[in-house]
Chains A and B, each alone.
Chain A
């Protein structure tokens, strides 16, 4: 309930991160979503990831569209600016914000209705453009706020709570993101925080378009038998290809892993991703292989999760536009206005 103020006090012994912030400094208002909603677990994972990465909370801009998922930015990073924008239009708002100030971290939060239905175009084009962002879709296959209509990610053959069978083919956002050139693509499950938190952390540290599809069951409208987005169904069909640890700074790589099972990926910003392979054949640097793998497993009814693709040397939109290092929103008249002498020359050329 957003109108209930969250108490600010906390246990004096609460652990602090490198910057001296506690977990509480990354929290937001109290969630207004249904008790047990998968989205709240994602919120908790975002908080955890930001805490662990020691991000200054106010250096994040959280942007969303409309829907249950898009309400969540109010529930984390209370000291960050948030923007609950227009249905399906988070990607364009985020793109604009990113162009204005390349120094902030951009977290786009969306849902399956927001990104696969009304905003499918904007989702696609923001990925194509390589906007430096972490784009999280909280995917429950259903419209929650309007009470249970199918969304475009609902699997064909899955049943709604009212007993209607979905006859339309599903859109797999991960497959589309891979095809459109996202340079960090992952899928996870809101019920699996140990997998999700490092994926979010790695995505934030990735320079380029990062996309995470998080299956997040809707406790109210899509958690029944016959649904392919229920807690039970996802747990039964979850096929994790790898587990991830994000290593920032001087942290040594954990020695717990058996030799040969860990692949270390160094990202552009120096962060390292330690990938524990669960599927020996899976190569997260092979975009084409990832697409085939996904299709094969989807045909078997399996939900492939983990870090599916990463290009550690990715470029972003600012690289492509060759913009100055200084954020555009800080440039003043001196930097932007050519002045009257130039204008006189322009006038002369127009006579």
Chain B
């Protein structure tokens, strides 16, 4: 039997915390991730949590990555096993040569450990109980004590951790000093009793730069504030609730009139998703910028209204924080599984604009842009996030705003224009782009009013069931959708170092794993051009990218290759040319998965010459 030597790695490893939901571990774990960032070393943390509030297992994984690979890596180098319930599975998931950190207050039988890992026991409960008497304090400070021990084991600079605690409890001196005390309790014990540091170490670097660390849902909500949203209606649903909650807290800070203190926004928690989208449609019809945030089941409930928005041409912004479906599916697991549901939501012939941000920075930008697009195109715009981007802190470029930017309120006929005698036909295509003018209710005493309905009507909004009139309108809506193609964010292409016959298409949260996979594939000798799709309808460059390659892989996080279906359907592409690479077990896609799947396919493509095979 060969002896497994312990993993030795500086600034490149994965630590996973196994906790019990509701034990207060989340803030300590986040503190751990942030401390490493303060060392100038990028991290990518992920919450892996059940659909539950207290008692069930929950994990927090921190990928420490000097190279800046922000996708999930897979595998665990160090397990901080704080949950007896999941012990066996947690211990089994450690990479050979990895480390197990546990509370050694109660002795464990040797059968509970593995021979090929390093076991590090710290009597956390004993230290905690000898210091604190209050049960809640014992629970909370135990988390900080293990953080302190990790500080010593991974060679973190305690000053940087203290600094973070100081920022967190600014003005709350008592909490500040007690947290710092707990940190040192753990750190000192480890320094005195264990060999520190271990093979996994954090060393100061300068790879974080000016990047920020933020959750996608919060960034999207901030985008709504900057984009001028004044009405938000929502219904609680995981993983989207934190969008509305973040919007509420951003608005409280930035959207109150300085003189009167009154709110320049209205947020309503609806009785369901139907009411939420109804409120959004009503507010947008009346000229306010409005949005809702939801997830799969909510989208299903909203579809009738989405059809109305399409047909009656009313702006709406829907943020869909995707989770695994169908039905209730896996509410706390990530997927990109609502692409088709959103692209074609509702009965009849409908098509909708989708935006696919890759990270919180793009979530911010696209959220703000969604309101311009919704009003310009007078239709529903979907901002397609997912749980992986939405509910995890992600390192991303700083958010930017151009103060010279003015909102594009779209084609709105004003009282002055009506007075001038401009011809107003609510569904009249005056500019050839398929986009008609609208008026806000209450604009003019005698001109510009119209009756909005979901039934067919002519160019002047007069009720009509004439086939030709109906078809005329439906064709204009197609024209409008073509116009949208050049307004939405364009795909981004990056070519391989050497010319290649193969390409890859991907979108949204797959981005960091894809970037990393490209490097792995290159090392294996596979060259791939890549294109990140950022919106639907697809820009013409998507079709030309496919035409330029023999095979194009389409990487996505759903079972049915939904983006691929949409490309085949909308662009008339031969499906054979698009090879699906699908990850859909609810965990975020990894570079290893992509590289292995594409690599295996590429290897099969390599034809061995017959003569060589025979000899």
Contacts and interface: CB of A to CB of B under 8 A. Distances in A.
Nearest to B275: A92
A34 B484 CA distance: 43
Given A3-B462, A336-B228, A346 B263 contact: no
A124 B401 CA distance: 42
A347 B262 contact: no
B274 interface: yes
A339 B305 contact: no
A270 interface: no
A235 interface: no
Contact of B279 (A59, A99, A346): A99
Given A80-B441, A122-B278, A321 B285 contact: no
Contacts of B75: none
Interface stretch (A9-17, A171-179, A213-221, A323-331): A323-331
Interface stretch (B101-109, B376-384, B449-457, B566-574): B449-457
A81 B446 CA distance: 11
Contacts of A340: 400-403
B213 interface: yes
Given A56-B445, A79-B449, A338 B226 contact: yes
Contacts of A129: 268
A57 B441 CA distance: 11
B442 A104 contact: yes
B282 A94 contact: yes
Contacts of A351: 37, 208, 210-213
Interface residues of A, number: 64
A329 B287 contact: yes
Nearest to B396: A350
B474 to A, nearest CB: 19
Nearest to B280: A96
Given A96-B281, A100-B287, A331-B230, A324 B214 contact: no
B214 A350 contact: yes
A74 B268 CA distance: 29
Chain A interface mostly = helix
A107 to B, nearest CB: 11
Contacts of B560: none
A99 B452 contact: no
B136 interface: no
Contact of A125 (B213, B262, B275, B439): B275
A337 interface: yes
Contact of B282 (A80, A97, A337): A97
Contacts of B453: 83-84
Given A86-B304, A324-B263, A125 B282 contact: no
Nearest to A61: B441
Interface of B is mostly: loop
B260 A59 contact: no
A78 B451 CA distance: 9
A97 B398 contact: no
A329 B267 contact: no
B263 A323 contact: yes
Nearest to A57: B445
Contact of B278 (A61, A96, A336): A96
Contacts of B399: 343, 346-347
Interface residues of B, number: 75
B333 to A, nearest CB: 26
A86 B454 contact: yes
Interface string B337-364: 0000000000000000000000000000
A58 interface: yes
Nearest to A56: B445
A99 B260 contact: no
Contacts of B231: 96, 99-100, 328
Nearest to B360: A350
Contacts of B445: 56-58, 79
Interface in B270-304: 270-272, 274-288, 290, 304
The residue among B233, B264, B284, B444 with the most chain A CB atoms within 10 A of its own CB is: B264
B203 to A, nearest CB: 20
Nearest to A93: B282
A63 interface: yes
A10 to B, nearest CB: 15
B544 to A, nearest CB: 36
Contacts of B402: 340
B290 A100 contact: yes
B593 interface: no
Interface string A62-93: 01000000000110001111111110010111
B551 interface: no
A195 interface: no
B403 to A, nearest CB: 5
A96 B283 contact: yes
Given A74-B451, A84-B451, A101-B442, A350 B268 contact: no
7 contacts: A80-B449, A85-B278, A86-B308, A95-B275, A101-B288, A321-B266, A329-B287
Interface of A: 2-3, 56-59, 61, 63, 73-74, 78-86, 89, 91-101, 103-104, 121-122, 124-125, 129, 317-318, 321-325, 328-333, 335-340, 342-344, 346-347, 350-351
Given A323-B266, A329-B230, A333-B405, 17 more contacts: A81-B441, A81-B451, A84-B455, A85-B308, A91-B275, A93-B278, A96-B285, A96-B290, A99-B231, A99-B266, A100-B286, A100-B287, A329-B287, A337-B401, A339-B403, A347-B212, A350-B212
Interface of B: 37, 208, 210-214, 222, 225-226, 228, 230-231, 233, 254-255, 257, 260-268, 270-272, 274-288, 290, 304-305, 308, 398-403, 405-407, 439-446, 449-455, 462-464
